[in-house]
Structure 1
């Protein structure tokens, strides 16, 4: 296989060892089985470094906003005469499908409903009006500016160095200004790229697992006689793996592009139907008031910990998990966004990546979460009992069954989850291939095939070991070492911008 780097071989070996470890019987390993070890590591990280995730995610957002208004905002992600490769609608569709797809459908109704019954405010009464306001505000917070700032910073760094400086499109290349070319070409660079690949494998495996969980739950909830079991989830992973591997063979401008546009059409169809079939005025009032409170309380939420609360698990279970999940997804989403963003200015790029998905995500939660909360608060329909019994993955389908044409909409929702599933996995094989072939913009098909099989295997093992909790555990562990790399990337990027600024000034003189 041409262009394959040693990062590929190291990452494949480690990933295969992880999958083998997950298949070994508990009686053989006793307390050293995969589930116990990863749970203990996750507990240590969240207990000791929860504040670290909070500060770094907020730091990335501040840095991104600074770049928008700084003198560096005029710099292009490419040469001065480069033009964007994709129109805005396709660009937004591709970055949105890769960045949030499955998660938004999975948590769209489930997260606001969960916060409504278990509010983030320690003294807030469950299912009260204040609980409803807080539930939606924190849903906006977890899926808004912070995650997209994380993606934007990494994508910006990769695109800038790749398209303007001609560097390889790998994570380590971004750190050359800070660490020097000699170190990056040695074991330090290899380690950095391996950590990025490791985070990508398990960040994406988490989302693939969520997709399999929700498709299985949706089929079981919508159609009588279908049981939601690990066997069904495994069958779904196998079928979707075949589909996304077929798509991956067609390349970026066919499979991923067409799937991304299909995702947007299905997502808008489902969103608009529920908006107008559901309590429209309530949803839009809820969206408007919550967006205002989100902007107002953003600084407070960005630094919120609960050191004096007897039970402080809410922040670690939700906010810390999300920040870790977004960071573990950053190499994947960042590399993909960088690949499709050539020719845009830094100001245009960051503004688009921050604002458009944030506003769309807020509207999505208002429609799906708002409809679920409206059914409970005003109509007394107990949707949360289904969630408590069957898991968060059924919240969407439980909500839709109380809406006109809910059965049809449930089938469209299943199609949407499936296309998001395929797009995310397809994009991830492309990104993993790119990261392990020294930044090749068209990775070898054999390399993408290997990564597709490994991703599917990792998702299946995590589901088998403990469902949603194992998926969350893997994301938090994978994100921890990569957080330090992202901090170094910010310093390296800023150093390079300063050098570029000096060159521009010299040209003007």
Structure 2
């Protein structure tokens, strides 16, 4: 669309064809067709995955050494990139929701949402970070309380508690969900609004063109998406296995959390999530997500009521205030702050989290796109960012606040076990501790199953040309590879220190190339939205109204009205033109005009 000089009444806006302004998605989406395997994407992703598994199985020490060296260089020269781009994604997602693009639906005009709001939020939340909430719900606030982050003042118990909560909320509220929203929105818009396949490469068509998106460039993007999904999901499954193993040890059902026990946990849970995965989203994941939501609420209410209730309730508003007060310091923390140990702290916490969220975006983004058809961009961003952020606030205030309260009262909760055992250690000070600990282990297992079966379906989608329901053998194969990669990542601790080191190191490295793809994806999404029919209609309307007002004011001063006429109609000459006889009143002037066509001239 080209707009000419609006200051001249003789010139009009160049017309836009109706088919561009009234365009609707095709009635049958590519994603709804029979699945066909993209052998180039599948072969590349599967080969690289198997090479990683074989390397780790043959020489985990060698893999750990290489991963540690690469991570050290990445943190030294590129840690700031993770910190900066995470903030860019937050600003971009919120701006889209608040802008004129927020009204654009993710589907056909007037299409109703596919799932109810409650089920939508339950599936999104359980899949997005369920295992992480269980693993870090107690551990992170407690860790920051005992050892304040570098550069913080420390202070008394109350100040350290607020610093710990503000840091935790920074990691678990706005940022991760904004990162998810960017990719999820791009996929949902491409699939349900534009009628293209559910592939990351399809979202790049506005930027690189359809030919490139279907060629080697697009296939490379899809391979990177599969690998990022694989390692991000495997990290979560590794954390889940660690916490289940810690629960078995806390309950006295295992003497210690050995690698053998963790591999056994992964094998058992793998069988469960493969059964869930082949049942499909509507029957498997939806049922598990709703069940887990109820169980999580029961656990949260139990700890709130039987724990330090008043302290927790006071902590919630204080934590929010501390979060906003320290927000810019938290968002800009890099090694440039000069505080001792900042680089190591960032790789353990902030950069690891950003890398973890980023590596999960192909998986979580595609999944929440699948369940968000029919919602507007504004609804999507609001639901994906604000609702889970509020839930995270309450979750960490209840469990983290309880742990901090116990630690401050003289209970050395932080020193009683490894990080994966601290949730169970806290529950030992509550009634019915054994039964509640079993409930926690069951919650982690279901989160484990929910995340893994969603990831296996998503990777099947990515390797079968965006099929909405990938074939069962493909889903099962990727489920097995997730379990294998999770097992290898547990073996690869930097210098053999802890299993968590291996999970964190490889997750950060796996997310690095995907970070670049995400930045380009934002550009492609914005370019596509600018050409959306709804956006073009709104832009066309503003231009035409502006043109009409300028023309009317210059021609008739204050006495004119707006009307609709076919493009190319003759524009009335301006006041004083030689085509109007002296004393003739301008026609069609509306209220305030001096007359209408056919009236006698004034004397």
TM range, normalised to the smaller chain?
over 0.9
Q: State the shift of 1:409 in Å.
A: 1.1
C-alpha separation between the residues in 2 aligned to 1:225 and 1:334? 37
Distance between the aligned counterparts of 1:506 and 1:305, measured in 2?
A: 45
Q: Match for residue 468 of structure 1?
A: 500
Assess, with a 3 A threshold, how the Cα gap between structure 1 residues 311 and 464 changes in structure 2: closer, same or farther. closer
What's the counterpart of residue 487 of structure 1? Answer: 519
Separation of aligned partners in 2, 1:198 and 1:233: 23
| 1:319 aligns with one of 308, 327, 350 | 350
Any residues of structure 2 matched to 1:242-257 within 5 Å, and which? 242-257=271-286
Map of 1:353-392 to 2, 5 A cutoff? 353-377=384-408, 379-386=409-416, 390-392=417-419
- Between the aligned partners of 2:148 and 2:197, the Cα distance in structure 1 is 46
Q: For residues 77-126 of structure 1, what are the alpha-carbon distances to aligned partners after superposition, in whole Å with 9 as ceiling and x for unaligned?
A: 01112110101110001010110100000000000000011111435338
The answer for the alignment partner of 2:47 in structure 1 is 13
- In 1, distance between residues paired with 2:169 and 2:281? 31
1:423 aligns with 2:450: yes
Report SS of the residue matched to 2:466: coil
Contact 2:492 2:501 in 1 (8 A): no
Q: What does the per-residue CA deviation read over 1:337-374, in whole Å, with 9 as the maximum and x for residues that have no partner? A: 00000000000110111111001011111111100110
Residue aligning to 1:399: 426
Q: Deviation per CA, 1:271-314, whole angstroms, max 9, x where unpaired? A: 01000010111001111110122133323321222422232222
Secondary structure of 1:203 counterpart: helix
Distance of 1:361 and 1:469 partners within structure 2: 25
Decide which moves more: 457-466 or 311-320.
311-320
Query: What does residue 451 of structure 1 align with?
Result: 478
Distance 1:95 1:233 in 2: 27
Q: Verify the 8 A CA contact 2:150 2:345 in the aligned structure 1.
A: no
> Structure 1 residue 503: deviation in Å?
4.4
Distance 1:103 1:317 in 2: 14
Q: State whether residues 98 and 378 of structure 2, in contact with CA within 8 Å, keep that contact through their aligned partners in structure 1.
A: yes
- Cα distance per residue 1:151-194 (max 9 Å; x no partner): 00100000001000011111111111111111111111111000
Equivalent pair of 1:108/1:365 in contact (CA under 8 Å)? yes
1:407 Cα shift?
A: 1.7
In the alignment, which residue of structure 1 is the partner of 2:601? none
Structure 2, unaligned stretches of length 5 or more? 1-33, 494-498, 545-603
CA distance in 2 between counterparts of 1:146 and 1:424 reads: 20
Superposed CA offset, 1:185-232 (max 9, x none): 111111100001000000000000000000001111112554311111
- Give deviations 1:427-467, integer Å, cap 9, x for gaps: 00111011111111111101001000000000011112221
Closer, same or farther in 2 for the Cα pair 1:291/1:258, shift >3 Å?
Answer: same
Q: Is the 8 A contact 1:117 1:126 kept in 2?
A: no
* CA–CA distance in structure 1, aligned partners of residues 526 and 328 of structure 2: 24
SS at match of 2:175: helix
Q: Tell me which of 193, 196, 200 is aligned to 1:164.
A: 193
Larger radius of gyration: 2
| Alignment correspondent of 1:61 | 90
CA distance 1:227–1:304, change in 2 (3 Å)? closer
Query: 1:327-366 counterparts in 2 under 5 A?
Result: 327-366=358-397
- The TM-score with structure 1 as length reference comes to 0.96
Query: Any residues of structure 2 matched to 1:17-416 within 5 Å, and which?
Result: 17-25=51-59, 33-125=62-154, 128-307=157-336, 308-312=338-342, 313-377=344-408, 379-386=409-416, 390-416=417-443
Partner of 2:576: none
Q: What is the TM-score of this pair, normalised by structure 2? A: 0.81
| Inter-CA distance 507–448: structure 2 relative to 1 (3 Å threshold) | farther
* Structure 2 SS opposite 1:86: coil
* Cα distance in structure 2, aligned partners of 1:211 and 1:126: 34
Does structure 1 residue 439 correspond to structure 2 residue 466?
yes
Count of equivalent residues: 500
* Pairwise CA distance, 1:317: 2.0
Rate the CA distance shift 1:507–1:431 in 2: closer, same or farther, 3 A. farther
Runs of 4+ with deviation above 4 angstroms: 503-509
Q: Distance in 1 between matches of 2:156 and 2:451?
A: 35
Structure 1, unaligned runs of 5 or more: none
Residues 226, 126 of structure 1: alpha-carbon distance in 2 compared, 3 angstrom cutoff = farther
User: RCO greater where, 1 or 2, for CA within 8 Å and sep 6 or more?
Assistant: 1
Is residue 116–residue 127 contact of structure 1 (8 Å, CA) maintained in 2? no
For the aligned residue pairs, the C-alpha RMSD in angstroms reads 1.5
> Equivalents in 2 of 1:16, 1:57: separation in Å?
31
